[in-house]
Amino acid sequence: MSDISREVDEELRRENWEILWKKYGKLLIAAAVALVLGTAGTVGWREYDRGQREDAGGVFGTVIAEVENSEKPGVAADLLAAYIPGAPDGYAMLARLREAKLRADAGETEVAIALYDGLAGDNSVEPLFRDLAALYSVRMQIDSGDPIVLGARLSSLAADGKPWRYTAREMQAVLALNGGDSAAAREVFTKLADDMDAPDSLRTRAAEMLRAMGPS
């Protein structure tokens, strides 16, 4: 099952932190600013706040540039870990996601899982990112973790309306296969292959898995 596990991982990587930031980052910062401004609303405060946010964005960009230029994921992760304590919430959350990935790349699996679980359980983080962190945590444990615990987490992530539901459902099928329940896996793969709202790449993979599994 290692091939499809890698496919799932690659699917998640396509929805990486950079894409998420481009799509949702401005909304996160706008929400934070609205909270800070409250009813103060003076021109002077707005100008000050805008300057502060621009400075924060510049610092974040500098750190990310250093991370991208680092050839060692462990060193890059340390850069982010040092940046996070004093960072604004939105930037800190993105940096924590990135650090977790780099810890995983560096072979620090338990540290990466702990970081993902920390994000997943942090109510101050937007639900979209909490669910993504939970999904990454499950992904890292899918071949070795407690199937009952992982199944319960995936059940929540796979519910209708959840942003990462299709990947979560694919992981449910992988978990079922790992546990020897080919009937349950076949059922999930069949639903995914037939779901016209699911991403094309995922539907294709589900159909390929059904063919590989052979007749029921």
pLDDT digits (tens, 9 = 90+) for 173-216: 989 988 889 999 999 999 999 999 988 888 888 898 888 888 87
Q: Does a structural domain hold residue 43?
A: yes
Q: Is 215 left (phi over 0), alpha (psi -120 to 50) or beta?
A: beta
Q: Is the pLDDT of residue 133 over 70?
A: yes
Q: Assess whether pLDDT exceeds 60 at residue 148.
A: yes
Residue 106 pLDDT greater than 90, yes or no: yes
By CB atoms closer than 10 A (0-12, 13-18, 19+), residue 32 is: middle
- Residue 55 clears pLDDT 70, i.e. is over it: no
Averaged over 60-81, what is the pLDDT? 88
Q: Is residue 129 part of a domain?
A: no
How far CA 77 is from CA of 96, 131, 190, in Å, comes to 9, 22, 39
Binned at pLDDT 50, 70 and 90, residue 18 comes out as very low
Instruction: Report if residue 201 sits inside a domain.
Output: no
CA-closest candidate to residue 5, choices 134, 140, 146, 156: 140
Domain count across the chain? 1
Residue 37 lies in a domain: yes
pLDDT at 39: 37
- Asked, for residue 148, whether it belongs to a domain, the answer is no
Q: What is the pLDDT of residue 150?
A: 95
Domain that holds residue 56: 1-107
